[in-house]
Structure formats: structure tokens, C-alpha cells
Structure 1
Amino acid sequence: MKKILILSANPKNTSRLRLDEEVREIKNTLQLSPNRDEFQIITESAVRVDDLTRFLSHHQPTILHFSGHGSGTDGLALEDNSGHKQLVSTQALAKLFDLFQEQVECVLLNACYSESQATAIHQHIDCVVGMNQAIGDKAAMKFSVGFYTALAALRNYEDCFQMGCTSIDLQGIPEFLTPAIKIRRRRYQTVEATPVKSDKDNNMSNDNKSGQNRSVSIGGNATGSAIITGDSSTANVNFQQVSLPEPASVNIEAELNALREILAKLETSDRRKIDNAFADAQEELNKPQPDKDEIGDALNRALKYAQKAEGFASAMEKLQPHLAKTTGWLGDNWHKLLSIVGLTIF
């Protein structure tokens, strides 16, 4: 069963919106569906800033729907304790949804100029819908009806989004291009992963048993350094010097897949964050002219999360050849990635 939490806010010092009517239309759409037992609808109105974490924690929704006012990059308008407008920043919203990414599948921000919040929240939530400009009451309601009509028919979120836009267009309303979707397809969750055992699970030396730092030897001649690994021990690494390939010689999709599959075997509480980072890299790579810096940034995030995992030190040797090729393709800006796995350039 999908649990849908609808939050609405229309502070006293903002223009009146037909939020109650929108909520009623959503409820009717789902309740008239033969699949109505697949959904639970929870509504909360006049939402205050302090209510956000409480409602998300208490209701544990699958879908979070917000109806109200947006203020572009400044954030979304909720209410303070006196019922007046209080903005919640884009950065704060992103941090909030980072805490709820395990249960929230989709966030729908039915508010003007909310695309910037959608982009930020999408770092943590697979599907987020926002508005790229102002949207009128009628268009907002038609989008909601179309979205939930498709959802009631058990369609995927992309189809729901398209149905919402089409519902606006069918009414002859020019705002059918206003909704914007940020979606991450879960192609990376199909990997069969066998956990890599950490050094704690292997036969440890007497030094390790006494609590001393582990040592990983990966060869080469370079300045020694220290890498903090998942169990808060320090892996003393002799950095291996490598030469990087020409970008044109690298099959970047194959190298990213290889890195992903190695990291998929680590036992870590940040598994979803790592998967999200690789999905972002793949999404950028699929574009006609991918931005290498965007891919490098996503890969850096994945490696930083993985570095905290138990067993990362044991996986470094397998990561090295693939990361060297990937870094060669990414270019000079991303040579810093090499140090994460104990590599340096000749």
C-alpha cells in the first residue's frame, strides 16, 4: 500500500489558493478507483515549519504532496505559529529529505517556482516534481487530478507526470509545460551483491587483534599517507604511481559499471546514497553532451560514502584500474579521485 501525505499551507499574508478543493479532487480520484485499497491518503493543513519533521516521522509516507506557495530559490512558504508566512530554505528541505529517503519514493511540490527545491530534494529522492514558473489554481488542480488518475491505475511515476501535464493541456491551459520532473531510474538496484568481508571478519594479525592500525600494501613508489577507513582505523598506504589513458580510449560506461559493481559488495548504511550518486552519473552520461564535471562530482560522492564502509580498504585494489581509466576520461579536474584508492600520477 502506498501512503500519500498531502500537506498544504496558505499563510494569512499570502494570496488565497483553492487548496481544499485540490485535496478533495485528489481524494475523489483515488476513492473512485477500483484500486483504491492500494492507497492511504493523509491530509494535514495549515502546516507550520515545526510540523514538517513531525508529520514525516509519524506518517512515514511513500508520496509527499505539498500544495501552497513557492518563492523560487528562497524556498517554500509554510506558516509560523501565528499563521503568517515563514519560508523553509531549499537547503534545509534537501537535508530533511535526506533523512527520509528510505521510505519516500516521490515528492510533488505543487507550488509556484518550486523547481529549485525539486532539484535539491532529488539528490535524495528518486522522483520529485516541481514547477518551473508560476502556476495558476486551475492548472495546479488539473495536474494533480491527472497525476493521481494515473497513479490509481497503478502506472509508474513518469506516466503519472505525463498524465498530469496532459490533463492541463486537454483543458486548453497553456501551463502544461510548467511542471518539471526529476527522476532517477533504479537500473542499479538489479545488481546481485555479495558482501565484501571487512578485515574484522578475516583472520587478523596479532597487531590487529591488539587494536593497532591495519596496513594495506598496494605497491609502487610514492610518498606514504593515511586513509581513514570504515571502522575508524587508518590504512597506511604506499601510493602507487600510474599513468592515465587517453580519454578517447576509455569506455566510460563500462568503467562506471565496474566501479558500481565493486562498491555494491560493500556493507554500508549509505548504500542508497551510493546508488543515487551512480544513477546521477549515468543520467548525465546519457545526455547528448554529458558534463564531465557533473559525472566527476557524482563519482566523488559515491566514493566518499563508500570510503566510510567496512571493507573499503579490501576493495581498493579492485577499484584502482577502473578509477584510473575513469579519471583519464574525466580530465585534470578529477585527478584528486585517485588518492581515494591510493593512486597518484607519474
Structure 2
Amino acid sequence: MKKILILSANPKNTANLRLDEEVREIKNTLAISPHRDEFQIITESAVRVDDLTRFLSHHQPTIVHFSGHGSGTDGLALEDNFGNAQLVSTQALAKLFDLFQQKVECVLLNACYSEEQATAIHQHIDCVVGMNQAIGDQAAIKFSIGFYTAFGAGMNYEDCFQMGCTSIDLQGIPEYATPEIKIRRRRYQIEKLTNPAKFDDSNSMNHDNKGGQNLSISIGGNATGSAIQTGDSNTANINFQQVSLPAPATVNIEAEINALREIIAKLETSDRRKIDNAFEDAQEELNKPQPDKDEVGDALNRALKYAKKAEGFASTIGRLQPHITKITAWLGANWHDLLNLVNLT
């Protein structure tokens, strides 16, 4: 069951907002939705700074909805112990949601000038909605009604966002372009649902060493260095291969990154969300008219370092090597260190 945590704050030294009406409309909308039995609504009002970690830890929500005041670069306004405004910085919010990225799917900041916080939180959460300027009560409420109407009908988050904007527009309110969405589409997960055979590990090699015998793995080539990896009764002798890089112009970088991602997607790891976020950051940069290769390289470096900690990474090195070789050629000399992550040089 998905949990929707609605947090609201209207400090007494700030302009009065119609937050109770917004919460009531959200509840009424979801109560009559086709999927009303598939989620739980939790509301917390007059939220103080100290409440944030407690509510997120206790409720473990799927969606976090904040209604209140935003202050642009200064952060979001919650309440202090006396009911006055206390700002929470953008950086602190991003760090907070980093701790809950395994559970939270979507964050909706229904507050003025909250796009900066949305961008920061999006480093860790797949879908975040913020406002690119001030938004009035009526527009904020209509957006929530549209968003949760779509959500209650089983639509995806992007369609929920579009429904929210359309609901504002249908009322003739000019603020329909104020909400902004930051979203990652997890292509490999969609492919896994539509083509599960491709991700079937039943025919893969079993690497369990139940017999306690020594297993020796040698990755050959022209060795320029070596490393010893030891585990329970296992020894792996890993030689670093020298490789020749292809011409950058011959590399289909998107195809190589997608192939890399498919291989890594099969690893069992607690860092799955961080790996996926890194790949999405790389893809987002590639989609730009003039992508920054250093930004792409940094994102892939993060993905590989998280993946390297996963059990079973060593068994994927042989399949990763040809793709890393081509990716490194495209990235340029600044990123030759990526080769070392898969025992190449």
C-alpha cells in the first residue's frame, strides 16, 4: 500500500494560506478514486523542523506532499517551537531525502518559489514537483486536485503532473505553467516488465562456492599490474589489460551507456537507487545540444563505483570491458581512470 504523507506549515508570522482546504480537497478526491483502497493518506499540520525526520522515519511514505511557504534560495518555511517561521535550507532538504530515497518515489512541493529545492531533492528522488514562481491558493489547490485525481486513477507521476497543470488551466488561471517537474524515467525497469526473459538470471553462472574449494579467475592479456581479491576460500588473480581505444567519432555513446546499464542492472545491491540516479544524470546531460563530457564521465564514475561494491561485480567485468573501452574513448583523456575500474589500462 502506498502512503501519501501531507505536511503543511503556515507559521503565524507569514501570510495566511488555505492549507486546510487543500488537504480536504486532496482527501475528498482520493476517497472517490478507483484505486482508493491502494493507498493511505497521512496528514501532519503545523510541521516544525524537528518533525521532518520523525514523520519521514515513522510513516515511511511513498509520496511526500508539502503545502506552505517557499522562499526561493533561502529554503522552505516550517515552524519553530513558538509557531514562527524557521527556514530549512535547500542543502539540508536534499540530504534529508537522500536518507529516504529507497522508499520515497515522489515529492510535491506546493509552495512558492520551490523549484530550487525540487532540483536539489531530485538528486535523490526520481520525481519532484516544485513551483518556478509564486503560486496563489486557488491555483495550488486546483493543481493538487488534478494531480491526485490522476494518481487515484492509476496514472504515472508525469501524467499526474500534467493533469494538475491542466486543472489550473481549465479554470482560466494563468498559473498553469508555474509547476515544474523533475523526473527520471527508468527505462531498464520498463524493459524488464515488457521483456522479462531478457533479465532472467536462471541460466547465468552460479558463483556460490558451497564446496569451499578455491576458485581462481584470471583475466588475461598484456598485464601491466595485478591485484589479489580474497574471500571465503576464494582467490582471484586479476591482471590489468592494456587496450587500444577506438576513435571517438566511431562510438555510439548512448548505445554503449545503455549496454553498460543493462549489465549493471542485474547486480544485487543496496545502492541500486544511487546507481540509477547516476545513469539518469548521465543521460540528462547527453540529451543536451552540447553535452559536457566531464559531467557524463563524473556520473558514470559514480555509477561504476557504487556497482563495484555489489556482490557479483567481478563476474561482470568481462562484459563491461568493451563498453567501458568505447565510453572512455568518447569521454577523452580525462577519464582514462574509468578503465581501472574494470581492470583495464
Task: Please state which band the TM-score falls in when normalised by the shorter chain.
Answer: 0.7 to 0.9
**The residue matched to 1:101 in structure 2 has which SS?**
coil
More deviation, 93-102/45-54: 93-102
**Are the structure 2 counterparts of residues 85 and 333 from structure 1 closer, same or farther at C-alpha, using a change threshold of 3 Å?**
farther
What is the Cα deviation at residue 7 of structure 1? 0.2
1:113 touches 1:133 (CA, 8 Å); kept in 2? yes
TM-score for the superposition, normalised by structure 2: 0.86
Find out whether 1:101 has 2:101 as its counterpart.
Answer: yes
CA distance in 2, matches of 1:17, 1:153: 28
Task: State the Cα deviation string for residues 102-160 of structure 1 (Å, max 9, x = none).
Answer: 22221101112211221222222221111122222222112111111222222221111
- Matched ranges for 1:149-188 at <5 A: 149-188=149-188
What TM-score comes out, normalization by structure 1 length?
Answer: 0.86
Aligned partners of 1:14 and 1:230: how far apart in 2?
59
Question: How far apart are the structure 2 equivalents of 1:186 and 1:230?
Answer: 33
Counterpart in 1 of 2:196? none
Which residue identity does 1:240 align to in structure 2?
Q
User: Structure 1 CA distance, aligned partners of 2:226 and 2:7?
Assistant: 50
Displacement of 1:92: 2.3
Q: Residue 64 of structure 1: CA displacement?
A: 0.8
Structure 2 letter corresponding to 1:260: R
- Report the 3-state secondary structure (helix = DSSP H, G, I; strand = E; otherwise coil) of the residue aligned with 1:300: helix
Would the alpha carbon gap of residues 151 and 336 (structure 1) be closer, same or farther in structure 2, given more than 3 Å must change? Answer: same
Inter-partner Cα distance in structure 2 for 1:18 and 1:12? 13
For residue 175 of structure 1, report the CA deviation from its aligned partner.
Answer: 1.8
Whole-angstrom distance in 2 between the partners of 1:199 and 1:217: 19
Indicate the residue corresponding to 2:72 in structure 1. 72
Q: SS where residue 165 of structure 2 aligns? A: helix
Q: Describe the shift of the 1:81–1:197 C-alpha distance in structure 2 as closer, same or farther (beyond 3 A).
A: farther
User: Could you tell me which amino acid in structure 2 is paired with residue 28 of structure 1?
Assistant: N
* 1:8 shift after superposition: 0.6
CA distance in 2, matches of 1:5, 1:58: 11
Q: Which amino acid aligns with 1:252?
A: I
- For 1:313, the aligned partner's letter is A
Take 2:342 and 2:160, find their aligned partners in 1: how far apart are those partners?
Answer: 42
3-state SS of paired residue (2:148): helix
Alignment-derived partner of residue 135 in structure 1: 135
> Does the residue aligned with 1:182 lie in a helix, a strand or coil?
strand
Instruction: Indicate conservation of the 8 Å contact 1:115/1:132, yes or no.
Output: yes
Query: Deviation of residue 228 (structure 1)?
Result: 8.2
Partner SS state of residue 160, structure 2: helix
**Cα distance between partner residues in 1 of 2:218 and 2:13:** 62
Cα offset for 1:249? 0.5
Change (3 A) 1:279 1:325: same
1:261 Cα deviation from its structure 2 partner: 2.2
In the other structure, the counterpart of 2:18 is 18
Per the alignment, do residues 225 and 176 of structure 1 end up closer, same or farther by CA in structure 2, a change over 3 Å counting?
A: farther
Corresponding residue of 2:40: 40
Letter in 1 for 2:122: H
Displacement of 1:10 after TM fit?
1.5
Shift of 1:341: 1.6
Identity between Structure 1 and Structure 2 (%): 79
Per-residue deviation, residues 6-25 of structure 1 (Å, max 9, x unmatched):
00111233222221111112
**Residue 102 of structure 2 aligns to a residue in which SS?**
coil
Whichever residue aligns with residue 220 of structure 1, its letter is N
Q: Give unpaired runs (5+ residues) of structure 1.
A: 209-213
- Note closer, same or farther for the CA distance 1:257–1:106 as it changes in structure 2 (3 Å cut): same
Report SS of the residue matched to 1:343: coil
Partner residue of 2:221 out of 219, 222, 231: 219
Cα distance, 1:45–1:338 mapped onto 2, change above 3 Å: same
Q: Which moves more between the two structures, 159-168 or 274-283?
A: 274-283
For residues 166 and 228 of structure 2, the distance between their equivalents in structure 1, rounded to whole angstroms, comes to 53
The alignment's C-alpha RMSD in Å is 2.8
2:298 and 2:87 mapped to 1: Cα distance?
Answer: 29
Q: 1:150 to 1:33 in 2, by over 3 A?
A: same
Matched residue SS, 1:255: helix
| 1:293 equivalent in alignment to 2:294 | yes
Distance (Å, rounded) in 2 between the aligned partners of 1:229 and 1:157 = 45
Partner of 1:211: none
Contact kept in structure 2, 1:128 and 1:183, CA below 8 Å? yes
3-state SS of paired residue (1:130): strand
**CA 1:31–1:266 in structure 2 vs 1: closer, same or farther (change >3 Å)?**
closer
CA shift, 1:43, in A, is 0.6
TM-aligned CA distance change 1:315 to 1:21, over 3 Å: same
Return the alpha-carbon distance in structure 2 between the equivalents of residues 85 and 228 of structure 1.
Answer: 54
Q: Which amino acid aligns with 1:145?
A: I
